[in-house]
Chain A
Amino acid sequence: DGGITQSPKYLFRKEGQNVTLSCEQNLNHDAMYWYRQDPGQGLRLIYYSQIVNDFQKGDIAEGYSVSREKKESFPLTVTSAQKNPTAFYLCASSTAGSYEQYFGPGTRLTVT
């Protein structure tokens, strides 16, 4: 079945540690996105990528980094510089010119 995989579902880290969230898609989509979701705030765009080896900052990129070495994969690193990392993180993808995005199941990150 085609889709987007995010792992793990739940992730716990100590403050000051970097952590990398995985996102893989087998939909052959060109574009991929990372969102952060906090209660009552909807989804906010962190980074997005249109093609391999290229990515752009979204609205809240500070404290995060990404890479896009393969079309299928778009990992997100939450660095120790991110002041409030505890959140639900969602990865999405879309095909060129489609405008609609398909979402993965999400990773809930808790930093204590």
Chain B
Amino acid sequence: AQSVTQLGSHVSVSEGALVLLRCNYSSSVPPYLFWYVQYPNQGLQLLLKYTSAATLVKGINGFEAEFKKSETSFHLTKPSAHMSDAAEYFCAVSDRGGTASKLTFGTGTRLQVTL
């Protein structure tokens, strides 16, 4: 069984400040991990993914995440927040199934960016 815990349902940062969104996972197999972003009333867009290659993964819009097996974490960071980063962010873990691999999502973190 797999699970994802996102610490903090709401995070607020000032424009230009560091963004840190936390994700911890539990998985019975070596995990494949994902971060998705969702803008209001829209679908989810993939930010980045970890699939057992480099532990530091770079994604779109300046985001990156580091896989830490010892801490079972996959936190999302961005050095300098922009107003356009305000959205909801979801961490997910894959069951690494066959043709269809099921994703288990965290409950999401809403990022607010203030001036």
Contacts and interface: CB of A to CB of B under 8 A. Distances in A.
B61 interface: no
Could you say which interface size class chain A belongs to?
A: 20 to 34
A45 interface: yes
Given A42-B108, A43-B90, A99-B94, A94 B45 contact: no
Could you say which interface size class chain B belongs to?
A: 20 to 34
Given A42-B105, A42-B106, A50 B46 contact: no
Given A48-B102, A103-B36, 16 more contacts: A42-B106, A42-B107, A43-B44, A44-B105, A45-B103, A50-B98, A50-B99, A51-B99, A56-B100, A97-B98, A98-B101, A99-B32, A99-B94, A100-B46, A101-B103, A105-B43
Q: Which 6 A-B pairs have the closest CB atoms?
A: A31-B100, A103-B43, A50-B99, A50-B100, A42-B105, A103-B44
Interface of B: 9, 32, 34, 36, 41-46, 49, 51, 90, 94, 96, 98-103, 105-108
